[in-house]
Chain A
Amino acid sequence: MPKQPVPPRLSLRGITKQYPGCIANDDVHLSIAPAEIHALLGENGAGKSTLMKVIYGLVKPDRGELLWDGLPLEVKDPAHARKMGIGMVFQHFSLFDTLTVTENIALALGDDAGELGPLAEKIRTVSEKYGMAINPEREIHTLSVGERQRVEIVRCLVQDIRLLILDEPTSVLTPQEVEVLFVTLRQLASEGCSILFISHKLNEVKALCHKATVLRGGRVSGACIPSEQDTTSMAKMMVGDDTPVSTTYPKVLGDKPVLEITQLDQPSHDPFGVHLKNLDLTVNAGEIVGIAGVAGNGQEELLASLSGEALSKAGTVFFNTSSAGKTDVALLPPDQRRALGLGFVPEERLGRGAVPEMSLTENALLTGFLTGLVKQGMVGWQKTEAFADKIIKDYKVKTAGRHAQADSLSGGNLQKFIIGREILQDPKILIAAHPTWGVDIGAATAIHKALITLRDQGAAILVVSEDIDELFLISDRIGAICDGELSPIKPTPQSSIEELGRMMAGDFSPQVQPATEGTHA
């Protein structure tokens, strides 16, 4: 090769974007060479999303410039970005449920889509070439989450793609699906396409990426070659030096069953819902049980029948808390279950965990009303405010104060508030969905510690999460849910990521020992 340096496919120079009250990007420099897989690392709120929206033309930077193959480029809108060969795979898929795969892709291609027939043929060919076969005639709502992601990726691949941006692509995949995705991405890169891989999962970045740029608080806090780093040093770049980034917790096994589900069989009324099939589950006092699973496999339905939002057949759900002994709660509404000692952290923060337009004080009252905040039908506002203040203080919620509206908080801070609200009520049973989803490492550690402390005080805790690392970190026993069925729950030390991955994909058979004899025939 001649020594003439190839200009980077994309380089960003001094990108700055300010929103009222915060600087999302502050003088960000970044460059990606052709065929390079480049990681953009950072916690939530570090400015990753804003930066990629700038590249994709969804947001105009206040300052700074973007060079494309060495030439200045102003990306006007996503259509313009696509035309230049920039494709993007969104974290929350930008797909339309009632349209077919082909129609979805045609929409994004704009006027270049042409006739649907030939396009469908092209989708078939391209998807097979990259090992992600999809049927172009299917409607999106019939596809699994992993398949939907394939549609998003194929949507970028059917055009002439030169830079592919993926926003936290692995958060919705099983470990096995992640492997398949990485094979595809490596193949793409080897063909000369640059890839910008946005993530906060350090192991994946180490396994896949050639280079990494780390953002913290909107600024570039470091750049490195991931294969030469260990995850701790990269984590330090992400969170700063003063936050502890890794820790382990002792595993224990509980004794007294506190939450019991027996033969819970529940058809779903929702056409997009999942039928729960004969679930059996016991959570003991003083232990954390973790349920893994890819989104949309029955987690929502399971959580609803535990929280009381959905009622079940009598004799399928039992609470065994000190106050009332073993009680059949299958037909009890949420408030009566809470009265028996239930705490619940729903998946959706705004809308179910908290009312967006209400203040933190009012949101504290929403589930705390049984703890003496309401007397004879009258709200004790002073006590409620004190309770809200305590949550804010104990859980280091960053907010303007207890009068702030719930939707003014960042996702992570609101999550800390909701977790704090539930834990401070001293529940006997705590059910938490995705307790640290979208929460930065520092806050996640704080939430994990709070859960462990609660466990050690004797509460029975059920955690449903898509983050396998988190489940292995805090669960004492672990299992997976797939298509409404629950795998056997095993003590965490006896399980493995590989086994859990198979369970998430629906293979519940006991671990097959590698055959060491009799195979040589």
Chain B
Amino acid sequence: MDIDLISNILYAMVRTGTPLLIVALGELICEKSGVLNLGQEGMMLMGAVVGFVVALLSGSLLLGFMLAIVAGMLMSIIFAVITMELSANQVATGLALTIFGTGLSAFVGADFVGKPIDGLDPIFIPVLTDLPIIGRMLFGQDLIVYLSFVLFGGVYWFIKYSRPGLILKAVGENPHSANAIGLPVLKTRYLAIIFGGAMAGLAGSYLSLAYTPLWAENMSAGRGWIALALVVFASWKAERVLLGAWLFGLASILHLVFQGLGFSVSPNLLAILPYLATVVVLVILSSNQSRSRLVAPMSLGKPFYAKS
């Protein structure tokens, strides 16, 4: 295998893994606060369609990305109000949000299917881009990929070292204790949910504005679900989310690799790999009860009723 091919595979791996990484980081924060939001897919699709339509009409990619983030946040606020204020079941609400987002995005984007747009260009960094093997992977990407590196660093630091990160973990583990010692449970959960929405919106617009610059119905193709699995796969640790997102990215482009190596395997068969990997990982993780109990936020998915 020549160096160019490896370099290209790594480049494509990171590029493919980026939307997964972004949405999974958002979900990670959300789940750390004890909230399970299954609406990732719906929020991503809304981000994708809003980003595309805005960018096409205004001619500004930046505006597209920004409003996509806003769209994701608005979607997540719907979820937050229903689950926090009305104490609805998180799983049911999240599923409803996905169905809602899928339908609404198809409706909004109906007139824009197949329209062309100039996607986001890569930004080459002098010297670094030309490094062998990892040059293109890390320094030949577009702005959003670089942003995903920054987001990863930020989330990692936030959870591990910051005081608000500690509060986030405390709220996710035991909201009643957190309330008793005076931590703002609902506010923390609101912010975490909204961050998750913003990330899903951004990830969605990355798909429609950079990865494959066009809008197609249901174009997120299950990435929101993979991201959910990814968070479990990563056992709620940011560094493993990064690793997992890139691994899943690699699995998605394996057919290119095989072509490059001269094997002929049906691309359809290879396309199931990420999903298969998800199932395998979930089975392995849940097979060990004690491990899964120690790593998951203890109050994940449980509503919190403030008593006064």
Residues on A lying within 8 angstroms of B by beta carbon are: 57-60, 77-79, 82, 90, 93-99, 103, 106-108, 110-111, 113, 269-272
- Residues 164-199 (chain B) with a chain A CB within 8 angstroms: 166-167, 169-170, 173-174, 176-178, 180-183
Classify the interface of chain A: helix, strand, loop or mixed.
Answer: loop
Cα A96 to Cα B177 with chains together (Å): 8
Shortest Cβ distance from A25 into chain B, in angstroms?
Answer: 14
Q: Are B169 and A108 in contact (CB under 8 A)?
A: no
Q: How large is the interface on B (under 10, 10 to 19, 20 to 34, 35 or more residues)?
A: 20 to 34
Residue pair A107, B183 in contact (C-beta under 8 Å): yes
Q: Is B173 within 8 A of A99, CB to CB?
A: yes
CA distance A24 to B256 in the complex (A): 70
- Chain A residue with the shortest CB-CB distance to B174: A96
Contact A77 B177 (CB under 8 A): no
A-B contact pairs, 12 of them (CB 8 A): A78-B180, A94-B174, A94-B177, A97-B173, A99-B173, A107-B181, A107-B183, A269-B289, A269-B290, A270-B289, A271-B294, A272-B293
The interface residues of chain A lying within 8 Å CB-to-CB of B177 are 93-96
Given A78-B180, A95-B174, A107-B181, 16 more pairs with CB closer than 8 A: A57-B182, A58-B308, A78-B181, A90-B180, A94-B180, A96-B174, A96-B177, A97-B298, A98-B169, A98-B173, A107-B178, A107-B183, A269-B289, A269-B290, A271-B290, A271-B293
Which of chain B's residues has its CB closest to A268's CB?
Answer: B290
Chain B's closest residue to A90 (CB) is B180
Question: Which of B170, B182, B294, B308 makes the CB contact (< 8 A) with A59?
Answer: B308
Q: Which residues of A contact B289 (CB under 8 A)?
A: 269-271
| In the complex, residue of chain B having the shortest beta-carbon distance to the beta carbon of A272 | B293
A96–B166 Cα gap in the complex (Å)?
A: 11
The docked-state distance in angstroms from the alpha carbon of A98 to that of B169 is 9
Contacts A103-B166, A107-B166; A78 near B173 (Cβ below 8 A): no
Q: List residues of chain A with CB within 8 A of the CB of B169.
A: 96, 98-99
Closest residue on chain A to residue B167 by CB atoms: A107
Q: Which residues does chain A contribute within 8 Å of B173, judged by CB atoms?
A: 96-99
Q: Are B166 and A79 in contact (CB under 8 A)?
A: no
User: Given the complex, which residues of A lie within 8 Å of B170, measured CB to CB?
Assistant: 96, 99, 107
Q: What CA separation (Å) do A514 and B293 show in the bound complex? A: 48
- Distance in angstroms between the alpha carbons of A94 and B173 in the assembled complex: 11
Complex Cα–Cα for A489 and B163 (A) = 50
9 smallest beta-carbon distances between A and B, as pairs: A78-B182, A94-B177, A271-B290, A94-B180, A79-B182, A108-B181, A96-B173, A96-B170, A94-B181
B180 / chain A contacts, CB cutoff of 8 Å: 58, 78, 90, 94
Closest to A110 in B: B182
Q: Which residues B91-106 have CB closer than 8 A to chain A?
A: none
Find B166's partner among A97, A99, A111, A270 (CB 8 Å cutoff): A99
Bound complex: CA A90 to CA B176 (Å)? 12
In the complex, what's the smallest C-beta–C-beta distance from A360 to chain B, in angstroms? 23
The distance in angstroms between the C-alpha atoms of A270 and B180, with both chains bound, is: 27
A97 to B295, CA, bound (A): 11
Which residues of B have CB within 8 Å of A77?
182
Chain A residue numbers with a CB within 8 Å of B176 are 94
Contact residues in A for B290 (Cβ distance below 8 Å): 269-271
User: With A and B bound together, what is the CA distance between A78 and B294 in angstroms?
Assistant: 29
Complex interface residues of chain B between 210 and 233 (CB less than 8 A to chain A): none
Q: Which residues on the B side are within 8 Å of A90 (C-beta)?
A: 180
Measured in the bound complex, the distance between the Cα atoms of B293 and A99 in whole Å is 14
User: C-beta contact mask, B146-172 vs A, less than 8 Å → 1, else 0?
Assistant: 000000000000000001001101100
Task: Kindly list chain B residues whose C-beta atoms are within 8 Å of the C-beta of A111.
Answer: 163
Q: How far is the CB of B33 from chain A (nearest CB, A)?
A: 13
B168 to chain A, nearest CB (A): 11
B residues near A113, Cβ cutoff 8 Å: 163
Name the residue in B169, B170, B182 with the highest tally of chain A Cβ atoms < 10 Å from its Cβ: B182
Cα A78 to Cα B163 with chains together (Å): 18
A161 to B298, CA, bound (A): 31
